[in-house]
Structure 1
Amino acid sequence: MIEEDLYSNLAAIPITLDSFTWHSAEQFYQASKFTDEAIIKKIKACQNPFRCAAIGQTREFKIRDDWEEIKIDVMERAIRARFDQHPELTEILKRSKGTLYDHSAADSFWGIGSNVTGKLLMKIRDDLQSET
């Protein structure tokens, strides 16, 4: 896996949150959009992060009412878990320099454009660097 992939929420790097081991940050994020147990169960059963993203974007189920208010916090929680639970990744992030980008041209919020994922990674990097 190349270093840039380690920063991707689609990377198949397991995280444990809410008493469940998720196959990726993306899987946790997509499941967190919903309150309906049927779609959450479907996302939990999915092991492919790209497929999890597709399931979460189908709009087959209603997204929780507060999603727009909490989605950045949910993503930050998932990204923090990835680095907190994988010390080798923490060291790579701490050594990174400059601006980090999510090079997703298809998503102007998380990726190219607002680069919210990159901003969260840099915030977490700054927090980790200040701990040492």
Structure 2
Amino acid sequence: MTIGFYTTRGDYGCFSNFSDHGFELDGEYWSTTEHYFQSQKFATTPHVKQIRLLKTPKEAAIMGRDRSRPLRKDWEEVKDDIMRKAVLRKFDTHPEIREILLATGDEEIVENSPSDYYWGCGKDGSGKNMLGQILMEVREILRKGTSE
């Protein structure tokens, strides 16, 4: 069986980067993994704080995707590790969603995004599903009790 998610609704809504599960990371509080991830595109600039303080993850996504802002030069090399770090902290911080993730056993987890062929599976299922891959990696780390 494959476990799919896309929005914050449903049994696996907590897997979404828009889910309302805040955490502390890098000495700051982040409302969602989306806030953290989008802000890191602009590390060491004032854009980090601007994004961190936005009210919704949708606003953070819009600001993070705004290419009038100076994207860090190494973004393509570091984005997966940044996502992994944020997702791990989120599930490490919240026992109730950690249990949901661990209860998926060895099932494949897929972000059913019809438009995202990198983080999701894309409309035709040919996407990389990197968010699903990271969730499965985090599940394994938590299962082994090897996070921080």
Same fold, TM exceeding 0.5? yes
Confirm whether residue 123 of structure 1 aligns to residue 131 of structure 2: no
Percent of aligned pairs with the same residue?
33
Confirm whether residue 63 of structure 1 aligns to residue 71 of structure 2: yes
Counterparts of 1:110 and 1:122, CA distance in 2: 13
Q: 5 Å matches for 1:47-126?
A: 47-97=55-105, 98-112=107-121, 113-126=127-140
Confirm whether residue 9 of structure 1 aligns to residue 17 of structure 2: yes
Do the aligned residues in 2 keep the contact of 1:25 with 1:79 (CA within 8 Å)? yes
Q: Which has the higher strand share?
A: 2
Tell me which amino acid in the other structure corresponds to 1:124: V
Structure 2 gaps, min length 5: 1-8, 122-126
Confirm whether residue 33 of structure 1 aligns to residue 41 of structure 2: yes
What is the deviation of 1:92? 1.0
Structure 1 gaps, min length 5: none
RMSD of aligned Cα (Å)? 1.6
The number of residues matched between the two structures is: 132
What is the deviation of 1:36? 5.5
Counterparts of 2:44 and 2:98, CA distance in 1: 34
Deviations 1:50-94 (A, max 9, x none): 110010001121110111110000000000001100011111111
Higher mean displacement: 119-128 or 107-116: 119-128
What is the deviation of 1:131? 3.2
Q: 5 Å matches for 1:16-27?
A: 16-27=24-35
Q: Which has the higher helix share?
A: 1
The SS at the match of 2:114 is coil
Do the aligned residues in 1 keep the contact of 2:119 with 2:128 (CA within 8 Å)? yes
What is the deviation of 1:10? 1.2
What is the deviation of 1:43? 0.5
TM-score computed with the length of structure 2 as normaliser: 0.83
